[in-house]
Amino acid sequence: MSLKTDERLYKRMFDEIEDYAIVSLDVNGRISNWNRGASLIKGYTSQEIIGQHFSIFYTPEDILKNKPAHLIKQAADEGKAKAEGWRMRKDGTRFWGSILITAVHDDDGSLIGFTKVTRDLTERMLAEQAAMKRMEELGRINRDLEQFVYIASHDLQEPLLTISNFIELIKAEYAEALEADAQASTYVNFIEEASLRLRSLIKGLLDYSRIGRQQLISEVDFNVLMETLKKDMRVSIEAADATITYTSLPVVRGFETELRQLMQNLISNALKFKKEGVSPVIEISAERRDNQWYFEVKDNGIGIDEKHRDKIFMIFQRLHNRAEFEGNGIGLAHCKKIVEMHQGQLSVKSTPGEGSTFYFTLNII
């Protein structure tokens, strides 16, 4: 293939590229040549644009800042210059352009001009702006919801306290009458039990709304965390005749109070849902996978049916009645919220009758 044929092929390739605006500039930044992609993106014909200064594509704000001249100087001094920003079309509309200006030299190393490549990233930019706006809106909604939950739960405490106090007064002042009337005594007991459950639910809501409020990030040694937790939970662990094992757990960067609550809830869950007559064995491990720590909390309890595995992470969702297992169904909802505030994920694998393994991820420091 001859040199002239190579040159024609190169020029044809240059001219017919449509996704990128490829422009040739002289040493002063004036346009000497451009391809079809430049016409499509910027809206000018070659006849209209050849000889114009490339600053014609810049917004009035960028021209006041002398940005085109700065980019040309940077490319001349450093060999290339990169930038992103709003650019102007012929019809006055704007597009978000990603540009690369590269200095061109002759065989003696003297600067003879520049090439400028522009890509229209308007769709990407608008999508990012929409996503950011949506995230801000979701953040506001979440903050409003948490504030509502906190205020509502807090304000419910006062009337609940009044109910509890009057129940105690009725039981004290009408003790003989209640002993003589079994039905009335049953009614009072039902009211008392319901008020206690309501108090527990309100506490759960308050705890849930408080997760992440005091966000002080620190380095958390999970080995130290587990040693402290085992001491604090000693009574529950001994009562269940449970064994908890772990080795070489990592140090992570996160919210210490919340991470402690996460592990406490998962361990409490394993102690609660143990098999009848079988001592609980809880195995905790962690391994590094790419840029995350992958934790497992494995137990030998009653397990979870597959159809309920998503339900267990929802607030106030229970799989068993209170006669079998106490609680409000909020512990695993706490766990999910804590893991997600650390940009991680929480899931479970389980076989009924054989136990469960809870998985969660935390970012590497």
pLDDT above 90: residue 69: yes
Mean pLDDT of 283-295: 91
Ranges 71-85, 265-279, 310-324: which has the least confidence: 310-324
Greatest mean pLDDT among 82-86, 151-155, 171-175 lies in: 82-86
The dihedral built from the CA positions of residue 84, 85, 89 and 94, taken in this order, carries a sign that is positive
Per-residue model confidence (pLDDT) at position 204: 66
pLDDT at 327: 47
DSSP element (H, E) containing 244? strand 243-246
Indicate the range of 211-215, 284-288, 339-343 predicted with least confidence. 211-215
Tens digits of per-residue pLDDT, 10-28? Answer: 556 556 677 788 889 999 9
Higher pLDDT, 355 or 152: 355
Check pLDDT > 50 for residue 357.
Answer: yes
Q: Is the pLDDT of residue 109 over 50?
A: yes
Q: What mean pLDDT value characterizes the chain?
A: 83
Mean pLDDT of 135-160: 72
Q: Above pLDDT 90, what percent of the chain?
A: 35
- Which pLDDT score is estimated for 127? 85
H or E segment at 102? Answer: strand 94-105
**Measured between alpha carbons, how far is 106 from 234 in angstroms, rounded to an integer?**
79
pLDDT value of residue 322:
45
Q: Which residue ranges form the domains of the chain, and what is each CATH number?
A: 3-120 (3.30.450.20), 123-210 (1.10.287), 214-365 (3.30.565.10)
- Give the model's pLDDT for residue 56: 93
Provide the pLDDT for residue 60.
92
Where are any strands of DSSP class E within 271-354?
Answer: 281-289, 292-298, 346-351
Percentage of the chain modeled with pLDDT above 70: 82
| Mean pLDDT score, 259-263 | 90
Of residues 296 and 159, more confidently modeled? 296
Q: What is the pLDDT of residues 292-326, one digit of tens each?
A: 899 999 999 988 877 666 677 765 444 444 444 45
Q: Which position has the higher pLDDT, 213 or 193?
A: 193
CA-to-CA dists, residue 314 to 270, 321, 327, 333, 340, angstroms = 18, 16, 14, 5, 14
Q: What 3-state DSSP class applies to 307?
A: helix
Q: d(Cα 204, Cα 220) in Å, to the nearest integer?
A: 25
Which of 16-20, 124-128, 160-164 is predicted least confidently?
16-20
